[in-house]
Amino acid sequence: MSLQKPLAIALASLTLLFTSRVQADGLKPEEMIKYRKAAYNFMAWNMGKIKGSLEGNFNKDAVANAAGAIAAVANSGMGALYAPGTDQNIGNEKTRLKSEFFKEPEKVREIAMNFNKQANELVKVAASGDAGAVQTQFAKLGDACKACHERYRAK
């Protein structure tokens, strides 16, 4: 048996998962694009705060707060905002999501779970207040973001 069958099953399961979530949330595809971009932009602002703190005067509380905000995004179930078809601009909502995203569910899951893991780890590290440890973990989180951007986000 080739690998195609398990992949097809995984894809079908994922599609089902997405579809049921779409129905549960009652979101239109354009709303999904809007909300996921909002989530990433809210996260980007908080990434910027940590970057600024690492490059300037390290502010433990500000870093811990920003790490918490990033983790809130990572833990918010963003998979529900990626229904099939949302790799196209819809109405006024533009997306750079590549179609490959829907063809590699296992890879997407792996990348998403690593992002989640690194974001939650940053919360723990930030609580320690150790600037060096934050710098290291922040870089790991950045790599996790980049892994998805490089594979699934158009230039």
Binding site for a second copy (CB under 8 A): 24-27, 31, 34-35, 37-42, 44-46, 48-49, 52, 56, 62, 65-66, 68-69, 72-73, 75-77, 81
Q: Measured from the CB atom, is 94 or 103 closer to a second copy?
A: 94
CA–CA gap between residue 61 and residue 55 (Å, rounded): 16
CA–CA gap between residue 97 and residue 29 (Å, rounded): 13
Amino acid letter, residue 109: R
Q: Measured from the CB atom, is 6 or 48 closer to a second copy?
A: 48
Q: Tell me how far, at minimum, the Cβ of 59 lies from a second copy, in Å.
A: 9
Q: Would you say 93 and 148 are in contact if contact means Cβ atoms under 8 Å apart? A: no
Q: Measured from the CB atom, is 11 or 62 closer to a second copy?
A: 62
Q: Tell me how far, at minimum, the Cβ of 123 lies from a second copy, in Å.
A: 11
Q: Measured from the CB atom, is 2 or 92 closer to a second copy?
A: 92
Beta bridge pairs of residue 90: 93
CA–CA gap between residue 77 and residue 24 (Å, rounded): 13
- With 0-12 / 13-18 / 19 or more C-beta atoms within 10 angstroms meaning exposed / middle / buried, residue 46 is buried
